[in-house]
Amino acid sequence: MAYEEAKADVKKTMREADNKAKETWRRADGEESLSDKIANTGDDIRTGLGNAGDDVRVEADKWHKDVDRDDV
């Protein structure tokens, strides 16, 4: 596994752990309000976009390396 892939995996794990912690904290009072649900949804969207961006970056790096190798 390349460095960028490993870094993307670590970032994904950290994002998901952060979301879990926030969701747990929001439920700590025993109730899940509408604002809690909206905040959780926003966190999920940000996590998904961050993970997608990392995946695109990893694939773009692979593609870039393949193109550079063809030029040699």
Segment 4-56, tens digit of pLDDT = 889 999 999 999 999 999 999 999 988 889 999 999 999 999 999 999 999 99
pLDDT of residue 4: 82
Helix (H, G, I), strand (E, B) or coil at 24: helix
The pLDDT value given to residue 42? 97
| pLDDT in the model for residue 43 | 97
pTM for this structure? Answer: 0.76
pLDDT of amino acid 71 = 60
- Any idea of the CA torsion for 34, 39, 42, 44, to the nearest 10 degrees? -100
Q: Does residue 68 carry a pLDDT above 70?
A: no
